[in-house]
Structures are given as structure tokens and as C-alpha cells.
Amino acid sequence: MDSCSLKINFEPIVKLVDDVIIPPMYKIRQHFETPRLLDPVGKLHEELLKKSELLKSLKGKRVCIAVGSRGINNISLYVWELVKVVLEHGGKPFIIPAMGSHGGATPEGQRKVLEELGITDDKVGAPVVSNLDVEYLGDTEEGIPVYTSCDALNSDAVILINRVKPHTSFRGDIESGLIKMAVIGLGKQKGADLCHKMGFYRFAERLKSMARIVLSKVPVVFGVALLENAYDETADIKVLLPQEFFEEEPKLLEKAKSWMPRLPVDNIDVLIVDEIGKDISGDGMDPNITGRFASEFVKGDKDVNRIVVLRLTEKTEGNANGIGVADVTTLKVLEESDLTKGYINSITAAIPPTVRIPMVMPNDYYAIKAAIKTANNLDYSGEKTRIVRIKNTLQLEYLYLSESLLYEINDNKLVDIVEGPLSFEFDEKGNLLTLW
């Protein structure tokens, strides 16, 4: 196949931004008032025992435990607990990836995703079976075809486990959670592809119609719904029967939304994001935090003029899905990007903007300066530019704010200034040295 190389002469480019000043910054700490389970595995065990009669019915049955690709806190421990309880009740558990097209849409890639989450045959005590084979289940009244995993369909019982949280591309009374996993996760690459092809108009309602078909034909016995707080810790766990999904998941979603972390200011000239990756968000950086969505069906409540991304996480393994909503990035990000993975993700999700390449600068120093230079405001030097720097969209306890934003947090009792003013430090290659 053909390959390509990009031609960039940085010398004349950096001259255009070199006179910009990166203003003094202040490190701050946010305090989120949010619940946390002290013994989350114990809570899961307690929830499972509420379904004791159902667990007894698993004796002698092949029980499929469907696990997604998200970096859910303690996910390997929860899967291990599920396996243990199923074995204690005489069931024969096995694990399948329920992650649509993730992992490069290959069986090996999806098995590796689970392995990176700590889910292997040895660690959780049950075999991992990774296939992309699906079977057609029927059409919705609207004519949308529904597919599901052959491994799940041919098992005796299926258990879903997933986090309930706001989605990055659509809004509804259900978003990311058990219903979506039943349709897109179990649908593998083909099901996910067909589902996203319809676009995000009325997506929640369409997902529910498709899920009713799945749940009428796939032997789902229950689902484990996980909720996380602003510190990425488990805040609550509920075990739901399939018939409870449609009534209870919307309630859990409202809780999840209220517990999400957020930025302490709204009007931002430049948002510096140290790292993005699929382990951070399906969109690399969660648009519910940045306010910058790739989907036309969701609008953010943040006014962010420029976003600059400095690097990819190691765990994303080159998948830079989500980089397309940034305005500026670095040569390092471009060189580390595996466009194949990102394009597969984008094509399956039917959202091309997520993999568009933003302006590329030679290093962190000039990437930040380019973002300041192009920010639409009346600050021509950069000294009064409203800048926020975050490590990623999962870790928002500590942030950096520029001096011009300090007055906005003066009366915020949940925000402390840790240190400052300080100047960002860079090495001889222009890489940002100021850490967290």
C-alpha cells in the first residue's frame, strides 16, 4: 500500500510565534465533594448476593462475562469477584471482550486490551475467549439491523459489566452503560459499525430499541453497573436485572453526571492538555470536560478558544483518536500516532473529525506559544491570556491557571492555590519540565 511523508519547515513557522509570552502560572488544587466506596469489592459481593436465587440457577452453565475496554478503576478486581461468585455457585465462567471495534478490531488486539486492564486467564481465574464473530438478530421497527457476539449468544448465561457515565457524542436518558454495551459492545466491529452509521440523532432511543432485541435473544441474566466519582474512584455499584436496565440506568446516569469532575473556570483562551489516550476517554480527552465535542448533537458548557495537546499516553499505543478537536499539537504526537488504529476507530464510529490532524509544532514550547498566538482575544503579547493546563481529563484535582484567571477562583472555597506565580520550565529540546 502507498505511504506518505509530511513536509514541514519549522524555521519560518516558529518565527511567527516566538515573540509571544507565556504568562506566569499558578498551581491550584480542587476539592470535589463526592462519594467513595471504602470496600468496592465488598459492595459488589453484597449486590450479587441480593440475586442469590439467580446465581443458583447458573449451576452447570457456561457463563459469559462481557467486559469492555474502558480504563475502569478496579475492573480486574470486579471481574475476579464475578468469576469467583459464579464458580462458587457451580457455573463455568469465561470472559469475552465487549468493546465494539476497539483493540484495532482484531481478536488479538481486543485480548491485549483486556490483558492491559489486568484481565487474563490466570489473573481472574477464567479463560478469555476473543472472537469477532457475530450473528444477525433482526431489525428494529425503523429498519436498523442488530448483531451480537456469537460467543455471548451461544452461552447459557451472560453477565454485563460496565461503567455508567455521560457519553462524548450524544445526549439522552441513557448514554454510556449497560444498554450501550448490550448493543455496541456485544455487537463487535460489525454491530458497532452499523450502529454508528445511523448517526447520533435520537441515538439513545435507537439504542434502547436495539437493546430490547438483544435482551430478548441473548441470555443476559444481569448487569453490573459501576459509577465513578470526580477522583476516578468507584462511588457506587448496582446489580440490575435486564428488565431493570431501562428504568434504573437513567437514574444512575444522573448520579454519574452530578459526580463528574469539572474545570473551575468557563471562559478559557487556551487549554493545555498534557496527554490524551483511549485509556483516558473514548475520545482521547473527555469533551464533557473540555467542552469541545466532535459530534454536532452535543454542545458543551465551556467556552474554550484553543486546545493544545502535548503527548499521547503510553497505554493508548498510538491511537490518537480525539486529536482532531485540538487546534495545536506537537511533532512528537504526530510521530507516535498510529493512524491505522485511529482511522479504524473513527470509521467505525462514523465521526471523521476525531482523527483530523491539527497544527503541528516542533515541541511543547512552540505548541503552547502557537495556541496563545492564535487565541482570539485582545491580548497581543500573551501576558493576559486566560490559560488552563491539565494533565488529562481524568485527573483534575490539580491544575495550572494563568494569573488572569485567579480572580475567578477567589470566592471558590473548593479551590486552593498550591504555589505560584511560576514560569513553565522547558528542556533544551523544548519539552515541558514543570510537573504535577
The contacts of residue 12 (CB under 8 Å, 6+ apart) are none
Give the CATH number of the domain where residue 178 resides: 3.40.50.11440
How far is the CA of 257 from the CAs of 87, 164, 245, 260, 293, in angstroms? 35, 9, 18, 5, 17
How far is the CA of 268 from the CAs of 117, 272, 280, 296, 341, in angstroms? 34, 10, 22, 21, 31
Print pLDDT tens along the chain (436 aa).
565 677 889 999 999 999 999 999 999 999 998 899 999 999 999 999 999 999 999 999 999 999 998 778 999 999 999 999 999 999 999 999 998 877 778 999 999 999 999 999 999 999 999 999 999 999 999 999 999 999 999 999 999 999 999 987 788 899 899 999 999 999 998 888 887 777 777 889 999 999 999 999 999 999 999 999 999 899 999 999 999 999 999 999 999 999 999 999 989 999 999 999 988 988 899 998 998 887 776 666 778 999 999 999 998 989 999 999 999 999 999 999 999 888 988 887 778 889 999 999 999 999 999 999 999 998 889 999 999 999 999 999 999 999 999 999 988 999 999 999 999 999 999 999 998 9
Residue for cell digits 504535577? 436
How big is the CA angle at 22 (ends 17 and 27), to the nearest 5 degrees?
A: 150
154 within a domain of the structure (yes/no): yes
Q: Are residues 245 and 290 in the same domain?
A: no
| Predicted structure pTM score | 0.84
Q: Are residues 156 and 289 in the same domain?
A: no
What does the alpha-carbon distance between residue 344 and residue 189 come to, in Å, rounded to a whole number? 10
Helix axes 364-374, 10-17, angle to 10 degrees: 60
Q: Are residues 232 and 95 in the same domain?
A: yes
What does the alpha-carbon distance between residue 420 and residue 29 come to, in Å, rounded to a whole number? 12
Candidates 336, 302, 303; CA nearest to 319 is 336
What is the total count of domains within the chain?
Answer: 2
DSSP 275: E
217-239 burial: b if 16+ Cβ within 10 Å, else e: ebbbbbbbbbbbbbbbebbbbbb
427 within a domain of the structure (yes/no): no
399 forms beta bridges with 28
Q: Are residues 145 and 208 in the same domain?
A: yes
Q: Are residues 154 and 244 in the same domain?
A: yes
Q: Determine how many CB atoms are found less than 10 A away from the CB of residue 81.
A: 19
